[in-house]
Structure 1
Amino acid sequence: MGRNAAQEQHDNDNHSNQLNPNNDEYWHSRGEDGRPDDWEDRVDGEADR
């Protein structure tokens, strides 16, 4: 039996959140406790690499 639409939406939302540095799930998926106060500086620093 296939997955229901609500579960698929949840999975899609979770995936999007893990790719968005403005979201706590981005940081949780990278081993942090949550979004740090200096998250914008940290994200900008990644672009310079």
Structure 2
Amino acid sequence: MEAEYQKQVDEMYFFGYRRCMKKNDIMHDIPSLPSDDEDEIPGGFS
């Protein structure tokens, strides 16, 4: 249950992060993140 909650939090954070990047028009600096970089996203897996 806790892991599922953490997954939802990570997804919400990730989509918010993408939206923020797009809003600031620097999306081109970040190609779609490879799955092996997920743990480098702030607020990601610990």
TM-score (norm 2): 0.41
Structure with higher helix content? 2
TM-score by length of 1: 0.38
**Larger relative contact order (C-alpha < 8 A, sep ≥ 6)?**
2
Task: Return the index of the structure with the highest Cα Rg.
Answer: 1
